Structure 1
Amino acid sequence: MLVKLNKLTLIFTLILITSCSNKYDKFKTTPDYINNASATKLAYYEAYNNTLKLWQVPYEELYVPTSFGIAHVIVSGKNNGDPIVLLHGMNASSTMWFPNVEMLSKNHKVFAIDFILEPGKSQLLKDIDAVESVVAWYNEIFKALEIGRFHLIGASRGGWLAVNLALNNQEQIKSLALLSPAQTFSWIKPSTDLLKNIVSLFSSKEKQLNQMLESMSNNPANIDKTYINQYKLGTQLDNPNKLITAMTPFSKNELKSLNMPVLVLIGDNDVINSTKTIEIANSLPKGKGEIIKNAGHFLSIDQAEVVNSKLINFLD
């Protein structure tokens, strides 16, 4: 009897392992636009891969076909863990999560998606000119990867996109965490840092990048140079898209209609947000807003340990 039980256990384990290992196999083939990239894009993809070496946990790269193009998704963490979807900031790509993915992956299955309209490894094949199309694109990814209910974390513009997704997927999203969300709770107010960024547009690309980092990070010298190199190459590939003008703050009624727990974190030196963001976050039915000290707009990198801890506590 014991031998039979052991055999059944072994068979069940093998079936489980096989089903898990094959689940994403059809999405693992690297597409031609990566393998046969132009010199400029090849340099960016190589820089992207170098940044992935900072990823502190095992990962899989998936290429998911959608009606709008190919979605590149980095998957990490426990197969049976509660899913987390990560939406990166503008031009940052999914590699921006390198200081955070280890903690998030400990008890969760993490899906980091490269936004199809920005530099990354996703490829646009059909024009997207409306937020509704972006929401539809993300929903195609969730369906293809069989992601049921999940936690959603968005940074900067990814935060604005995350709120759009949450408003359209109230039942699917278990919780919503927004890190320095851009143009989400209020308009970006003019400031000295923003003025410097505008003035730097008449300078060299190098000076523009340095000025942007100075205004967005509390300590840009601490950002890994490998990632900065990738970010720099990404800005050279970036083309303005039609969604920029669509990025307007949500109404109070829209925000208060969110029925899931919402966490909002901003840096105390955040050029994009102010205390008004926190006031609105704390007024939401299940909202909580906090200011992270010694952090700029890039707070997930500036204060990675603090942000990781607050995210884990929120998710738990």
Structure 2
Amino acid sequence: MRAPDRPSGFTNDSARDRFHAVYDRMLGELWPVPVDAFDVETRAGKVRIHRAGPAEGDPVVLVAGAGGNALAWYRYIEPLARTRPVFTVDPLGEPGRSVQTRPLTNGAEVGGWLTDVLAARDVERAHVAGFSYGGWTAVEQQLSEGGRVAALTLVDPGGFAPLPKRFVRWALAGALASLLPRPLRHRMAGVVNNGVLREDGLVRLTRAGWSFRRRLPVPPAYTDERIRQVPVPVQMLLGARSTLLDPRAVAARLAGIAPSWRVEIVPGTGHSLSVEAPDLVIERILTFPRQKAGHGHAPTGGS
């Protein structure tokens, strides 16, 4: 697939302004704690960051997936910010308040803007949690330049298998279902295996972002050698019904090539694990890497 040759962006100024109006309204409605919002200049554009929590300590940095932004983590902010500084970012190349100014053509360039964000905030030991494309971004940051990160939590991440056709069908079904009236949309969430459809505010934001043209590289599947090169402790949380990955195949592979990684298959969840089981993901972030590494399944839930 050809590398992107233009930055991502809205189709026009009016579309951008309409999206920002919805974004600001959803931030006011969904964000549970006071937030300090600021922008950081990176090599590929301006990145919007929302900060919460205590002034001191090693931060948790939350990176959303494709089509997402900082608001996707709104359920995470208050519980994490009780004890840790929390930075949520609007990723470059996704609809939000960040502004991409240069094309991002490969994983090293995608990971590079995250390195710039950490450096701008003088972060040396972040716990980076990334969902889907955000998980791939976090891994690429470590594989390209590295440093400034103490641990990774990867939530149904990209890059660990070729992109399957069933994922494309799943994304299309979710987009179509998002147009339905609220009661029917909520019922369809279970049918199409997408818990985001029950998140009314996030659905409104997603629909407002349809005027955004996303131009980012598709993650290739990692080789065994590249996975072994990740230098920090990693835990991976996989949806048992994920359409992006075969969770059992990924867990079995990692058990052989990266046995120190903690891999957990979460019953009753799909690719939208980060919104379907936020309490579990929060607990795993707060307790890793103190808990013993290993491979296993979540103790609760049903498949």
Q: Assess if the C-alpha contact under 8 Å between 2:124 and 2:147 holds in 1.
A: no
Q: Percent same amino acid at aligned positions?
A: 21
Count how many residue pairs are aligned between Structure 1 and Structure 2. Answer: 271
Alignment-derived partner of residue 13 in structure 2: 38
SS in 2 for 1:142: helix
Specify whether residues 220 and 130 from structure 1 end up closer, same or farther in structure 2 by C-alpha distance, changes over 3 A only: closer
Structure 1 residue 196 displacement after superposition: 6.2
C-alpha offsets along residues 254-286 of structure 1, whole Å, 9 cap, x if unaligned?
112223211111112211121112223434142
Alignment-derived partner of residue 6 in structure 1: none
| Larger CA deviation: 55-64 vs 87-96 | 55-64
Alignment-derived partner of residue 107 in structure 2: 131
Specify whether residues 76 and 282 from structure 1 end up closer, same or farther in structure 2 by C-alpha distance, changes over 3 A only: farther
Alignment-derived partner of residue 93 in structure 2: 117
Alignment-derived partner of residue 273 in structure 1: 245
Structure 1 residue 198 displacement after superposition: 5.7
Q: Give the residue type in structure 2 aligned to 1:72.
A: R
Q: Give the residue type in structure 1 aligned to 2:24.
A: N
Specify whether residues 277 and 103 from structure 1 end up closer, same or farther in structure 2 by C-alpha distance, changes over 3 A only: farther
Find 1:302's aligned residue among 276, 295, 300. 276
Provide the rounded CA distance (Å) in 1 between the counterparts of 2:265 and 2:64. 20
Q: Give the residue type in structure 2 aligned to 1:228.
A: V
Provide the rounded CA distance (Å) in 2 between the counterparts of 1:55 and 1:205. 22
Structure 1 residue ranges without an equivalent (≥5) = 1-32
Instruction: Give the structure-1-normalised TM-score.
Output: 0.77
Alignment-derived partner of residue 294 in structure 2: none
Provide the rounded CA distance (Å) in 1 between the counterparts of 2:138 and 2:20. 26
Find 1:160's aligned residue among 132, 136, 141. 136
- The structure in which a higher percent of residues are helix is 1
Q: Assess if the C-alpha contact under 8 Å between 1:73 and 1:112 holds in 2.
A: yes
For the pair shown, which has the larger CA radius of gyration, 1 or 2? 1
C-alpha offsets along residues 236-269 of structure 1, whole Å, 9 cap, x if unaligned?
123241412xx11111111122232111111122
Structure 1 residue 120 displacement after superposition: 0.7
Structure 1 residue 47 displacement after superposition: 1.5
SS in 1 for 2:59: strand
Q: Assess if the C-alpha contact under 8 Å between 2:196 and 2:275 holds in 1.
A: no
Specify whether residues 140 and 77 from structure 1 end up closer, same or farther in structure 2 by C-alpha distance, changes over 3 A only: same
Provide the rounded CA distance (Å) in 2 between the counterparts of 1:189 and 1:108. 36
Q: Give the residue type in structure 2 aligned to 1:82.
A: D
Matched, 1:260 2:232: yes
Structure 2 residue ranges without an equivalent (≥5) = 1-8, 291-303
Q: Give the residue type in structure 2 aligned to 1:40.
A: A
Specify whether residues 69 and 132 from structure 1 end up closer, same or farther in structure 2 by C-alpha distance, changes over 3 A only: same
Alignment RMSD: 2.8
Structure 1 residue 233 displacement after superposition: 1.1
